[in-house]
Amino acid sequence: MTQKIIYSNQVDTTLMTIIGVGNYNTVIVLVDENTRRLVLPRLHCLSEAHVIEMPSGDKNKTLDTLTAVWQQLERCGATRKSLLVNLGGGVVTDLGGMAAATFKRGIDFVNVPTTLLAAVDASVGGKTGINFMGLKNEIGVFACARSVILSTCFFDTLPIVELKSGYAEMLKHGMLSNHSDFMELVESDIIPIELESMLELLHKSVKVKEEIVEQDPKEHGQRKALNFGHTVGHAFESKALADGSPVPHGYAVAWGLVVEAVLSHMLKGFPSADLYVLAGFVKSNYGAFHITCDDYDELIGLMRHDKKSRSGEVNCTLLASFGDVRVDNSIGDDDINAALDIYRDLMGI
């Protein structure tokens, strides 16, 4: 099944049309406490839908929460002819997508991302999943939403941290695209947000991901380009979670972009001038993830657990230059240690 992406700030009307065309016998909406309060009341077409509320936050993207959603789908009388609307950020779309893909071996679902991060990343591309045993997205399936409605009209509900988190994934897409797209992003103001211009940047950014996913929907080859920044970023994120001080996903990705750009410079000749521009932008907007050399072994261990790694080796996507992507790079511990040293210098740690 292909995934239809719709760009519209008329979300209520668009969703009403999707529900009508699908002729569903039951409509269920998955929300967290934030989207139930701030967003659901704006969508009149869901006023009669069954509502399932899950707790917010990445720490709740667990098997226990997934089980609770399955149980509530059962109680709602959901069938193979039901529709699940995932209304929320990446936690809701990731977990809701997995719930829909596995309940009765699969029911239709629609993603309505309400955060910039979910719009540019989690809701698009067919990846669903939960965290498991302290590891990010360790359990999941590939399953495409029937439709994804991308809009900026709910971004007025977001705190600045959430906007910046999503912008980091857009920054990654810019680096995978070309120098001009990257510079447009680093020269734009994240705050204050201008919703119409952000919809335009969002469209351009998601197009980069769409083109890569179309070539390689199940990540056998070129889709691994989208992992740029994520091997190290997920390690930062997992360490922060284990330490009891969780960090936003996009912030971890931003810091991961810097480390993997350092590795790209060391191993593939990525230009140092562009590395400094990236590091300066990330430091100014995201601060730094504070580590010492005593943390290196733990971080490398987390990188080895990453789904992209094989045979105990750390595997990264690197760039020779903007748009010149090199996937499946095995990275030795010495190079990672050196890159983390340089990261600390660049970020003033």
Q: How confident is the model at residue 314 (pLDDT cuts 50, 70, 90)?
A: very high
CA distance 73 to 93: 16
**With contact defined as beta carbons under 8 Å apart, do 233 and 255 qualify?**
yes
Q: What is the DSSP string of 91-145?
A: HHHHHHHHHHHHGGG--EEEEEE-SHHIIIIITSSSB--EEETTEEEEE--B---
307, pLDDT greater than 70: no
CA distance 301 to 286: 25
Task: For domain 162-346, say whether CATH 1.20.1090.10 is its number.
Answer: yes
80, pLDDT greater than 90: yes
Residues with Cβ within 8 Å of 271's Cβ and at least 6 positions away in sequence, in order, are 265, 321
Q: What is the pTM of this model?
A: 0.84
Instruction: Tell me the CATH class for 4-158.
Output: alpha beta
Query: First vs last Cα of the chain: how many Å apart?
Result: 47
Report pLDDT digits (tens) over 136-180: 789 999 999 999 999 998 998 889 999 999 999 999 999 999 999
Q: How confident is the model at residue 2 (pLDDT cuts 50, 70, 90)?
A: low
CA distance 325 to 241: 30
Query: Which two tokens mark 192?
Result: 């204050």
312, pLDDT greater than 90: no
Report pLDDT digits (tens) over 89-108: 999 999 999 999 999 999 99
- For the ranges 46-50, 214-218, 331-335, the lowest mean pLDDT is seen at 214-218
Write down the domain spans for the chain. 4-158, 162-346
**With contact defined as beta carbons under 8 Å apart, do 46 and 29 qualify?**
yes
CA distance 336 to 339: 5
**How confident is the model at residue 268, as a pLDDT?**
98
